[in-house]
Amino acid sequence: MMLKYQRTAWYCVMLEHQHDLIIGASRDDSMIRTIQVFSDKLRGLGVLVGDRMLDVGCGYGDFTRIFASGFKEVYGIDIQQPCLERFRREANNDPKYSIHHMSASAMSFPDDFFDTIITIETLEHVPDLIGAAREIVRVMRPGGELLITVPNRWCPSENHGIEINGRFLGRAPLLTYWPWLHRRLAIARVFTVRDLDFLFAARGLRRCAVDYAWPTFEHAGNPLQRFIKPFYGLMRQLERSPIRIFGTSVLVKYVKPPLPPSSSAASKVNLA
């Protein structure tokens, strides 16, 4: 697998972001359609059942709680203390939840700890992206799954916005198609599936599925929002069309291969 990703230095440059990255805003229950679209798609990709789940960049915990029912223990990490405080209040001291102020690139969890890791629209904001990928793979148990959503570089618009000389200029059509310029101006990263493969498949994970999400028209900052909301249904149809790869977000599932059977276990199988 590693042979496919030997252009490490080149890809590290491609994934570096020369503009300061913003800390992403958490989604909450005011974005009902967005949460519904992403949660439905992630359920379609993942198993979402096991002993332990980790949400990297959990924010207020809206997605964390949606998927919690399939697990005995549920962990959330974020670097935004106000979001974590709200998550703790809404978790209402439920012992199932363990909520931590922790960086994705410096986790304190043991190796091979989680059955499922989700990270939803978070990696585009993480300063140490390589470190975060390394940590995610480390704490994921063999046989476990990683479910990712990130902004899609093939979307014909930079939707987080750009900043020039300290002035925020909002969305930028077609900027995503000029990676060298995007890295200088945009306030968050965008990704292709290949970029994610460099981060995770090159570290031994196996990519199993890919999906795309188109706009839900619930995000702030777009003055045309109220006029284009009626096209919500059309966006869902486009997610099933041949042009789905131009959606605003890409969703990918990776699996960490199980450990090879021990020699003793193998011998028992042979004897049987």
Q: Which domains does the chain have, with CATH numbers?
A: 2-271 (3.40.50.150)
Secondary structure of residue 215 in the 3-state scheme: coil
Question: To the nearest 10°, the Cα dihedral for 151, 4, 146, 125?
Answer: -30
Rounded percentage of the chain residues whose pLDDT exceeds 70: 83
Q: Which residue has the higher pLDDT, 216 or 263?
A: 216
Mean pLDDT for the chain overall: 87
User: Among the listed ranges 97-106, 192-201, 255-264, which one has the minimum average pLDDT value?
Assistant: 255-264
The predicted structure's pLDDT at residue 28: 59
Burial (0-12, 13-18, 19+ Cβ within 10 Å), 3:
exposed
The predicted structure's pLDDT at residue 140: 98
The predicted structure's pLDDT at residue 21: 63
CA distances in angstroms from 118 to 6, 8, 86, 149, listed in the order given: 27, 25, 20, 8
Secondary structure of residue 258 in the 3-state scheme: coil
pLDDT tens per residue across span 100-128:
999 999 999 999 999 999 999 999 999 99
- Is this structure's pTM higher than 0.85? yes
Contacts of 62 (CB under 8 A, 6+ apart): 26, 27, 28, 29, 35
Q: Is the pLDDT of residue 204 over 50?
A: yes
204 — alpha (psi -120 to 50), left (phi > 0) or beta? left
pLDDT tens per residue across span 13-24:
455 655 556 565
Distance CA 219, CA 225 (A): 8
Q: Which residue has the higher pLDDT, 101 or 160?
A: 101
Q: Is the pLDDT of residue 82 over 60?
A: yes
Secondary structure of residue 4 in the 3-state scheme: helix
Distance CA 31, CA 220 (A): 10
The predicted structure's pLDDT at residue 71: 98
The predicted structure's pLDDT at residue 154: 97
